[in-house]
Amino acid sequence: MSAVLAVVVTGAAALYIFLRTLLHVTQDKTEPPMVETTIPFLSPILGMATRKGEFYPCLRYGLREIQTSHLYLMPGSKLYVINSTALLSLVQRQYRTLSFTPIEAKAARDLMGCSDTASKIISLDPTKDGSYLMSFAKAIHPALAPSIHLDAMNRVSVQRISDVFDELQATAPNKVNLFEWASHSMLLVSTDAVFGSQNPFRASALEEAWYRFEPSIIIFMLGLFPSILASDALKAREQIVSAIEGYLSSGAPDDPDTSELVRARLAHNNSFSIPIKDQARFEMGNIFAILGNTLPSSFWILFHVYSDPSVLSDIGDEVSKLVTTTLSSDGVTTHTIDAAAVKTGCPILISTLREVFRYHGVGTSPRLVMEDHLLDGKYLLKKGNTVMIPGRVQHMDHSIWGQDVSTFNHRRFVATDDAYQRPSPVAFRGFGGGTTLCPGRHFASTEILVFAALMVMRFDVRPSGGKPWIQPTVDKSPMAAAIPVPDGDIEVQVELKGPKEQEWRVSFSGSGSALELSAEGVRD
């Protein structure tokens, strides 16, 4: 037995020495310094799987501005992790050499399961102007930029939010699971605003399918045998694709209440002769863009508002100033609020949402190195490897945010506060940055703000059973989530403020102006 053990130990030692040697042999001296690992090539994988969004801040040895992390024993397995805001800006300027579009093409093929025909179309010259992916953002920009089209989407979402609260008022007092209720509500609000009255997600089975598919996104992206490890998610994906294909084929996009965003995407797809079945698959990526941040952020803003009396008081005070109240001849009290005014009259609420994205955001903003590139004249980034821009590293940097960086400070972004200091324009990664700055940020931020503002005005919320507010852990949150989802839900008691007979009316005047939560677009 001892002889066998000796052979095993010797073999393990030899393998370790081989991997350690290979680690250094494959590292060019001009590449960013390596992250030292206990088990070469494998430790980073284990770290990502266990620590997820907290993995990258833990890598920041000696405040290195950039470093190399080796993953698998295969080409293209190095991660160049950016820690410095100065280097981050340089990376974003090299959007062709350090490109996101090939990753989008991979997602279309591996995550959405598009055909070879569609894959060839979108993979052709992915970094050149006029290609499918390089022209996509430009094609949909008019529908999402501040304009009559964005206002039309916001009006629908505001009305749907009002309907959600009318339904809640009818059943109050009531108990709900906060994350489940907020996610369900905002999924329907968001998809109604985009897809119109024939929104396929109105079918509860499709919503349930989305929740089965989304947690397994990383398995599809990494090609970890999804037919085996994510078979249920694969079935859910096909269920969603089938429903969306039916929506696209039914003529629903031509309905007057369908958003310009849907029409713009269809027009772009048709201009490149994308088959209708693949257009339905591409919508999966667009749906993730709509819902991925919106659903968990809607939960987290409610959690932070209601769990802290000072936050609730500050936001309640500023939102109440936007409400006008009238009393009808038959004694019915009517409260009216212009939701568009929330964008300009609630700096503390806006700051709270930005802090939700800073405090909880764990997006990584990957880029593929298309050709050897000498970053900042001194760091060699080799073709085929991946550049990672972990938002968590920027969001947890004491030198940028101060000594309270680990504390949720709802007034952190209030420009009128004496302690306010505008952060580096690229340090806030709530919606990405550079050419990949989320085009839907105006729409998403407006609906989340209105959702929170109306909730505060209309309802008192506290944990049921007299329990204290305890922030849920996020250890089980999917790796692909840019805003983590809680491991467990919070059952809350929801009670109506004021008499049940009161009415609330919400309008959206439309401003045609931006509500910019990304620091790259903010001008104080």
Question: Edge-to-edge, what's the strand order for the sheet holding 333-338?
Answer: 323-327, 333-338, 503-507
CB distance 88 to 265 below 8 Å: no
d(CA 457, CA 310): 15
3 state SS of 387:
strand
d(CA 4, CA 12): 12
Which stretches of 80-147 are DSSP H helices? Answer: 85-93, 101-106, 116-123, 132-144
| Residue indicated by tokens 């206990």 | 38
| Residue 114 annotated as binding site | no
For 445, what's the count of Cα atoms within 13 Å in the CB-facing half-sphere?
28
d(CA 314, CA 413): 14
For the chain, give percent helix, strand, coil, nearest 5. Answer: 55, 10, 35
Of 501, 311, 522, nearest to 433 by C-alpha is 522
Token pair for 150: 């964005």
d(CA 131, CA 268): 11
d(CA 143, CA 166): 29
- Spell 421-440 as b/e; 16+ CB within 10 A means b: eebbebbbbbbbbbebbbbb
- Look at the alpha carbons of 497, 498, 502, 508 in this order and tell me if their dihedral is positive or negative: negative
Tell me how crowded residue 136 is: count the other CB atoms within 10 A of its CB.
Answer: 20
Give 381's strand partners: 373
Token pair for 517: 């939560």
Binding residues for heme are 438
Binding residues are 438
